[in-house]
Chain A
Amino acid sequence: MNSAISKRQLQTRELPIIPIVIAQQCVLLPLYFFIPLWIVALNLFAAGLVVWSMKNKSFEVDRWLKLVITAAAIVGILVVFRKFSGRDAGVALISAMYGLKILETKKLRDANLLLSLGFFMLVAGFLFTQKPWIALYQFIPIIAILNALVSMQSIGRGKVVKRSLGQVIRSLSQYLLLALPIMIVLFLFFPRLGGPIWRMPGASTAASGVSDSMTPGDVSSLQLFDKVAFRAKFNGSAPNEKDLYWRMLTLGEYDGITWTRAGTTPYKLPESELTGKELIDYSITLEATRLNYLVTLDRPIKAPQRSTLLKDFTTYTPFRIMDRTRYQVTSAPTLPIETQLSDTQRSFYTNIPQDGNLKTKNWAQEQRQKYQSDAEFIHSVLVQINQQEYFYTLQPPIMREDVVDSFWFDYQRGFCEHYAGALVFIARAAGIPARVVIGYQGGEKNPLSDYWIVRYANAHAWTEIWYEDLGWVRIDPTAAIASHRVEQDLLTDYRQRESLFDNFDIVDLEDLGLFKQFEYWMDQVNNNWNDWILDYNSQRQRQLFSNWGFSKITNEQLIAFMLIIVSLFLGFISFRWLHQKDRKDQVARAYEKFQSKLAKEGLVNVDSTTGPMQLINQLKELEYSALVRSPHKSVRSKYEQHIKAIEAYIHYRYQNDKPDFKAKKNLLLQFRQV
């Protein structure tokens, strides 16, 4: 046959439009959630038009109409976004063009291009979200594209065997399975860049939770954010939930309204101070905060790599945390800090603005006189919080001037920031060095795994009061509020602050509702995904290879390794494939196994030239002579079963050429039973 002619014939043959459109729309589907609705409508319109014109042969989309639609889409995007660059505009443009491409898919070549482009388009979805679910979803468009490619291959092959969806998916999954080892090798070996390949302009990650300053009073209502702030995994046993004070920032400077941090003196803890202290090893996976500080369990003894431990026990990084970051830290909760304070520092930590909040200032100084020591005085303040009508609420009234005064004397209601701010102010007014610490408190343990989830809702502020010889001591004034004065809906939310009032046990899995269990499960999947896939950066790559004994591997070596492994694998697969003709199919193998089993039992005498009919005859003779000897029903049924299986094989193999999947399945089952 002349191949040139056949090719031309192929080109003019009907393309499998429906599978192509399905593949294309599957690829576009996740993007539809992120691009303007009118582009979605345009794409669906184009797909519908093509399907319709396939059904109505006479109808053909005019060349000029196509041009107009395409031009309109480009202009539309330019009008909406005012540019083509950037993530949103770029993806909108490419998805519009990809969607409209179907209009001019006439030849085999066009369809091939469209489908191959689909593999590239899949990546666009990851620009918007990198959750595991979208990665999982991508298998659907991949299968759809493969399906379309396969149906294109069968153009002009005459009759195509109709197969059910399950069969199609099963056979295509086999191709994917072949690609899986290559995928893993590429993932492991391909040299990682230091940071993300590009940073998308205008794709900001809203960071909330803890900010780098604190202004009690200007917030009238605090939202409880369910979003995860970070996850922590303890190497040994975890401390009690009520002891989980996650330190982030120390705020020492107060201008009457806002608490801000001061001082950037690096600090190196003397080794000698650690002797006999309980040490806790853990790793933290911090979500993007857009701040320069790391979260650590109170009190860190050494800063993680590429960060500095400051004297106020803030862990500072020179770069902002823009991506999920993972680090190892060790903390010593009982570590005393700064048992001696210089005069300058003393005056710094007792400094309050001269004017404003006079009522509190005077009250504090008066009260201090009544007690012998600083500790007793602070205790009395906590007792006052506990005994008097102080309320814990997330919707405090707005306090504009003399915030401490109006909180302490007038309203007596607020949340952690108000209490911490007030206590530090009172302590300072009484001449006791004090400072505010902000971070997170508590967290929830994922009962399905061994890590802790800390959310924005766990954000907290507490105080550190300096006592002679003891150094900075953590005092949490919020914990002093009597539990009946905490807003009811906060108490019922088990996550909120409960550890300060009562020592709740860690959540029992059996008590959890199904939904909660599902949530934990989701978070675990998410966490593993982050851990193993998204956070696989060049550092972890190096670490992995050094674990395998390749310390100091270069990128060139990685690529060489990768190429060698992939080409070996491809060589192996193609070798197998080339020799596939010699290989027998499943049924043949099962039959041969069955045959040799019968031969082994001494029932039959077979070689490669023994046909199935002969086998049946041999068995029938055996059955006959066995029945003559002892006419038992079991004897008959044994042979009968064998004979039935062979008969089924004969019908499957010789009755027709069309593969009958149901019969095949039954047959394999029959052979297995024997």
Chain B
Amino acid sequence: MHQQLETVVNQLNEIILGKKDQIKLALVCLLAKGHLLIEDLPGMGKTTLAHALAKVLGLDFQRIQFTSDLLPADIIGSAIYRRSDETFKFHQGPIFTQVILADEVNRATPKSQSALLEAMEEYQVTSEGVSRKLPEPFFVIATQNPFHQIGTYPLPESQLDRFLIRISLGYPAQEVERLLFKGQETRIQIEALQSVLNAEKLLAFQREVEAVTVTDTLLDYLQALVAATRNSTQWSHGLSPRGGLALLKAAKAWALLEGRDFVVPEDIQAVWEPVASHRLMNQTGTSAAGSSPVLAILESTEIPR
């Protein structure tokens, strides 16, 4: 079982070069039934990651480019009048898929954003008073551009909290970029990818994540970390219980990815920053990815023995 997860990581590594941790975190997010937020500039490989992930896992993939004139119906779908039998027939929008890339999610109006967020939270969409179930697994990868805030609707903190993990791909290293230039076009590479898993297997992995053991000493550690954010003056408020739960889930998924059925302190440490930083607001907004105050918490919190 673990072998397959390793293969997934390796295959993705060949396409998105030099971003092993981010790939693993993306996978962790999927295994923990969470959603992924990528904060990055255009052209960093967000789409490639989403696309490749869907392909390797054997899942359906859709992409929505969020714009200011995007309407909820453009995401969910709408009922269209059919003249032949004089009825309204619901046409599914792009959200009815297993992996969805919501590109530049902060460009759309809050109304459209909330349509996506309802789907993320409830695993269903409501149109014309009828709720429709989304396929399983359902995994949202949203991206936003943190630097061009004019004419955007930044996600409020309550909605940021819905994303289990936030990562940033960032510029590749020099050698890695060189390889990128030398290599094949990524689109062709993705086409050539063999899917390692399928939806069913992925669901089985998700169940396995839930069964991963966390001992009391580690819960102590986790609570100590959460408490540290609440006691710190760096942020206006600390991690919510949902944030703590997210940390626990992500750590479990990380442990499974590492081939263990129990969590060790390093699992919590590995997912700490991606899980915590976008939930912690300072005076100017959310902490940037890889922010040092969040990592400092890790440095100052002892691991209980």
Q: Which of B85-93, B96-104, B262-270 contacts A (4 or more CB under 8 A)?
A: B262-270
> What is the 8 Å Cβ interface bit string for chain B, positions 203-217, against chain A (1 contact, 0 not)?
000000000010111
Q: Are A591 and B305 also in contact (CB < 8 A) when A650-B264, A656-B262, A657-B216 are?
A: yes
Q: Are A611 and B262 also in contact (CB < 8 A) when A654-B218, A656-B213, A657-B216 are?
A: no
Contact across chains for B265 and A588 when beta carbons are under 8 A apart: no
Chain B min CB distance to A653 (Å): 7
Contact across chains for A653 and B215 when beta carbons are under 8 A apart: yes
Residue B191 lies at the interface, judged by CB distance under 8 Å to chain A: no
Chain B min CB distance to A651 (Å): 8
Residue B198 lies at the interface, judged by CB distance under 8 Å to chain A: no
Contact across chains for B298 and A655 when beta carbons are under 8 A apart: no
Contact across chains for A655 and B262 when beta carbons are under 8 A apart: yes
Closest to B217 in A: A653
Q: Are A612 and B265 also in contact (CB < 8 A) when A588-B305, A591-B305, A592-B305 are?
A: yes
Contact across chains for B302 and A609 when beta carbons are under 8 A apart: yes
Determine which of A608, A613, A614, A654 lies in contact with B302 in the assembled complex, contact meaning CB atoms within 8 Å.
A608
Residue A610 lies at the interface, judged by CB distance under 8 Å to chain B: yes
Residue A55 lies at the interface, judged by CB distance under 8 Å to chain B: no
Q: Are A613 and B262 also in contact (CB < 8 A) when A592-B305, A653-B215 are?
A: no
Chain A min CB distance to B282 (Å): 23
Residue B303 lies at the interface, judged by CB distance under 8 Å to chain A: yes
Contact across chains for B301 and A609 when beta carbons are under 8 A apart: yes
> What is the 8 Å Cβ interface bit string for chain A, positions 643-674, against chain B (1 contact, 0 not)?
00000001001111100000000000000000
Contact across chains for A657 and B215 when beta carbons are under 8 A apart: yes
Residues of A near B300 (CB, < 8 A) are 609
Q: Give B173-219 interface residues, CB cut-off 8 Å to A.
A: 213, 215-218
Contact across chains for A613 and B213 when beta carbons are under 8 A apart: no
Residues of A near B69 (CB, < 8 A) are none
Residue B122 lies at the interface, judged by CB distance under 8 Å to chain A: no
Contact across chains for A611 and B269 when beta carbons are under 8 A apart: yes
Residues of A near B216 (CB, < 8 A) are 657
Residue A157 lies at the interface, judged by CB distance under 8 Å to chain B: no
Determine which of A585, A613, A655 lies in contact with B265 in the assembled complex, contact meaning CB atoms within 8 Å.
A613
Residues of B near A585 (CB, < 8 A) are 305
Report the separation of the CA atoms of residues A519 and B25 in the bound assembly, to the nearest whole angstrom. 77
Contact across chains for A611 and B265 when beta carbons are under 8 A apart: yes
Report the separation of the CA atoms of residues A8 and B298 in the bound assembly, to the nearest whole angstrom. 46
Contact across chains for A611 and B215 when beta carbons are under 8 A apart: no
Chain A min CB distance to B263 (Å): 6
Residues of B near A629 (CB, < 8 A) are none
Residue A584 lies at the interface, judged by CB distance under 8 Å to chain B: yes
Determine which of B262, B269, B299, B301 lies in contact with A654 in the assembled complex, contact meaning CB atoms within 8 Å.
B262
Chain A min CB distance to B271 (Å): 13
Q: Give B125-152 interface residues, CB cut-off 8 Å to A.
A: none
Q: Give A564-617 interface residues, CB cut-off 8 Å to B.
A: 584-585, 587-588, 591-592, 608-614
Closest to A613 in B: B266
Residues of B near A588 (CB, < 8 A) are 305
Chain A min CB distance to B181 (Å): 31
Contact across chains for A611 and B218 when beta carbons are under 8 A apart: no
Chain A min CB distance to B225 (Å): 10
Q: Which of A585, A587, A611 has the most CB of B within 10 A?
A: A611
Residues of B near A608 (CB, < 8 A) are 302-303
Closest to B213 in A: A656
Contact across chains for B298 and A584 when beta carbons are under 8 A apart: no
Contact across chains for B305 and A611 when beta carbons are under 8 A apart: no
Report the separation of the CA atoms of residues A610 and B303 in the bound assembly, to the nearest whole angstrom. 7
B-side interface size class: 10 to 19
> What is the 8 Å Cβ interface bit string for chain B, positions 21-62, against chain A (1 contact, 0 not)?
000000000000000000000000000000000000000000
Q: Are A656 and B265 also in contact (CB < 8 A) when A584-B305, A609-B299 are?
A: no
Q: Which of A584, A591, A609, A610 has the most CB of B within 10 A?
A: A609
Contact across chains for B263 and A654 when beta carbons are under 8 A apart: yes
Report the separation of the CA atoms of residues A608 and B265 in the bound assembly, to the nearest whole angstrom. 12
Report the separation of the CA atoms of residues A444 and B269 in the bound assembly, to the nearest whole angstrom. 76
Report the separation of the CA atoms of residues A7 and B132 in the bound assembly, to the nearest whole angstrom. 50
Chain B min CB distance to A153 (Å): 20
> What is the 8 Å Cβ interface bit string for chain B, positions 253-264, against chain A (1 contact, 0 not)?
000000000111
Residues of A near B217 (CB, < 8 A) are 653-654
Residues of B near A656 (CB, < 8 A) are 213, 215, 262
Closest to A608 in B: B302
Residues of B near A592 (CB, < 8 A) are 305
Closest to A615 in B: B266
Contact across chains for B262 and A612 when beta carbons are under 8 A apart: no
> What is the 8 Å Cβ interface bit string for chain B, positions 269-290, against chain A (1 contact, 0 not)?
1000000000000000000000
Determine which of A591, A609, A613, A654 lies in contact with B298 in the assembled complex, contact meaning CB atoms within 8 Å.
A609
Residues of B near A650 (CB, < 8 A) are 264
Residues of A near B269 (CB, < 8 A) are 609, 611
Chain A min CB distance to B192 (Å): 34
Residues of A near B299 (CB, < 8 A) are 609
Chain B min CB distance to A338 (Å): 84
Q: Give B291-305 interface residues, CB cut-off 8 Å to A.
A: 298-303, 305
Report the separation of the CA atoms of residues A587 and B299 in the bound assembly, to the nearest whole angstrom. 24
Determine which of B213, B263, B264 lies in contact with A612 in the assembled complex, contact meaning CB atoms within 8 Å.
B264
Closest to A584 in B: B305
Report the separation of the CA atoms of residues A654 and B221 in the bound assembly, to the nearest whole angstrom. 12
Q: Are A655 and B305 also in contact (CB < 8 A) when A611-B265, A613-B265 are?
A: no
Contact across chains for B303 and A655 when beta carbons are under 8 A apart: no
Residues of A near B302 (CB, < 8 A) are 608-609
Report the separation of the CA atoms of residues A657 and B265 in the bound assembly, to the nearest whole angstrom. 15
Q: Are A654 and B303 also in contact (CB < 8 A) when A609-B298, A611-B269 are?
A: no
Residues of B near A657 (CB, < 8 A) are 215-216
Report the separation of the CA atoms of residues A306 and B159 in the bound assembly, to the nearest whole angstrom. 97
Contact across chains for B215 and A654 when beta carbons are under 8 A apart: yes
Chain B min CB distance to A535 (Å): 51
Report the separation of the CA atoms of residues A653 and B215 in the bound assembly, to the nearest whole angstrom. 8
Chain B min CB distance to A660 (Å): 12
Residues of A near B262 (CB, < 8 A) are 654-656
Contact across chains for B305 and A654 when beta carbons are under 8 A apart: no
> What is the 8 Å Cβ interface bit string for chain A, positions 608-646, against chain B (1 contact, 0 not)?
111111100000000000000000000000000000000
Report the separation of the CA atoms of residues A195 and B216 in the bound assembly, to the nearest whole angstrom. 59
Report the separation of the CA atoms of residues A611 and B300 in the bound assembly, to the nearest whole angstrom. 13
Determine which of A584, A587, A609, A613 lies in contact with B264 in the assembled complex, contact meaning CB atoms within 8 Å.
A613
Report the separation of the CA atoms of residues A614 and B303 in the bound assembly, to the nearest whole angstrom. 12
Closest to B302 in A: A608
Residues of B near A654 (CB, < 8 A) are 213, 215, 217-218, 262-264
Closest to B258 in A: A613
Report the separation of the CA atoms of residues A585 and B264 in the bound assembly, to the nearest whole angstrom. 18
Report the separation of the CA atoms of residues A657 and B214 in the bound assembly, to the nearest whole angstrom. 8
Q: Which of B218, B264, B302, B303 has the most CB of A within 10 A?
A: B264
Q: Give A229-277 interface residues, CB cut-off 8 Å to B.
A: none
Chain A min CB distance to B80 (Å): 55
Chain B min CB distance to A595 (Å): 10
Residues of B near A612 (CB, < 8 A) are 264-266
Report the separation of the CA atoms of residues A610 and B299 in the bound assembly, to the nearest whole angstrom. 9
Report the separation of the CA atoms of residues A657 and B219 in the bound assembly, to the nearest whole angstrom. 11
Contact across chains for A611 and B263 when beta carbons are under 8 A apart: no
Residues of B near A655 (CB, < 8 A) are 213, 215, 262
Q: Which of A592, A610, A657 has the most CB of B within 10 A?
A: A657
Interface pairs (16), CB distance under 8 Å = A587-B305, A592-B305, A609-B301, A609-B303, A611-B264, A611-B266, A611-B303, A613-B264, A613-B265, A653-B215, A653-B305, A654-B215, A654-B264, A655-B215, A656-B215, A657-B215
Can you add 7 more A-B contacts, CB < 8 Å, to A608-B302, A609-B300, A656-B215?
A587-B305, A591-B305, A609-B298, A611-B264, A613-B264, A654-B263, A655-B215
- Give 8 closest A-B pairs by Cβ, nearest first: A588-B305, A611-B265, A613-B266, A608-B302, A611-B266, A655-B262, A654-B262, A657-B215
